[in-house]
Amino acid sequence: MPGKRPLPRRIKVALLRSGVGRVGAPTSGLLLKTAYMARLAKWTHGHRDVSFNADADESEFRYNKRERLFQFVCDAEGLDGPIDYLEFGVAKGKSFFWWLSQNQHPKSNFTGFDTFTGLPEDFGPVKAGTFDTKGSVPETDDPRAHFVAGYFQKTLGPFLKEPGLTERSSERRLVVHLDADLYSSTLFVLTRLAPMLQPNDILLFDEFGVPMHEFKAFTEFVQAYQIGYEVLGQANDYLQVAVKLTHV
C-alpha cells in the first residue's frame, strides 16, 4: 500500500483539483502582496545600518531627499572622474539632469532610456501611459548626453552592441539608475546588463520600497546571478536605495 502523502502535498492537490483557483485569484494577489511586504520588511531590517540614512535628520517623506542620497554616493564613491551613467526611466529628465550637472568630467557619458510615451503597464494605481512626454526627449546641448527612445526590451540589446560599455576600463565607474518603477522593466534591464557588471558598479533604485516591483526584481536578480552587494544608503523609508556591487 502506498504511503500517505504528507499534509502540505494533500492540501496542494486538493486545491489544484477543486478548481478553487477560480475564486481564489483575488485573494492570492493579496496574499502575495502581504508576503512580499514581509520580505521587504525583513530585508530593510537586515540593512538598517547603512552609511547614509536621509531619514535620520528629516523623518518626513520628501521625494527630493533622493538628491541627498545621490550627493552622498557621489562624495563617498569619488564620482567626479569619468563615469558611464545609464538611466532607465527618464520622463522629463529630472534625475538625469541632476547627474548631468553634478559630474562635469568631459569623458563621462550619460544615456537615458525611455519610451517617452509613458509607462508600458499599470504600476499599481498608476495607469499605463503615465509620464507620457508625447515622444519628446529632454533638451540639452551637453554633448555627453544621449537619449534612446523605445522599450528597453527593444533598445538595450542594440545599445550594448556598440563599443564602449562592453570594453570597460577600470577608471570609468558605472552608475545605473533604475527608475522605471515596474517589475518587468527593472528585471529585464538588470538581467540584460548582468554580463557587463563589475564590482564597484553603483545601482540606484527610485521605487525600491514597492515590494512587488523594484524590490522583487532586484532580490530575484541578485539571487539568480549570485551577485554580492553593499547597501550605501537609503531615503524615504527605503523608497530610494543605493547599492554598490561587491562581487559579480
Ligand X SMILES: C[S@@+](CC[C@H](N)C(=O)[O-])C[C@H]1O[C@@H](n2cnc3c(N)ncnc32)[C@H](O)[C@@H]1O
Give me the least distance between CB of 131 and ligand X, in Å please.
Answer: 3
Distance (Å, rounded) from C-alpha 69 to C-alpha 54?
7
- CA–CA distance, 192 with 34 (Å, rounded to integer): 29
Q: Which residue is nearest to ligand X (CB)?
A: 89
- Residue from 40, 43, 70, 95 touching ligand X (CB under 6 A): that is 95
CA distance from start to end of the chain: 50
114 sits near ligand X (criterion: CB under 6 A): yes
Helix, strand, or coil (residue 22): helix
By beta-carbon proximity to ligand X, the closer residue of 51 and 155 is 155
Do the strands 240-247 and 228-235 form a parallel or antiparallel pair, or are they unpaired? antiparallel
Q: Which of 181, 210, 227, 243 binds ligand X (CB under 6 A)?
A: 181
Interface pick for ligand X out of 62, 118, 137, 220 (rule CB under 6 A): 118
Q: Which of 53, 55, 151, 165 binds ligand X (CB under 6 A)?
A: 151
Only segment of 99-107, 115-123, 134-142, 237-245 that touches ligand X (CB under 6 A): 115-123
Give the angle 202-32-219 at the CA atoms, nearest 5°: 20
Select from 79, 83, 119, 203 the one that contacts ligand X (CB under 6 A): 119
Task: Give bridge partners of residue 242 from the DSSP assignment.
Answer: 204, 233
Please name which of 64, 52, 45 lies closest in space to residue 232, comparing C-alpha atoms: 52
Binding site for ligand X (CB under 6 A): 89-92, 94-95, 113-115, 118-120, 131, 151-153, 179-182, 185
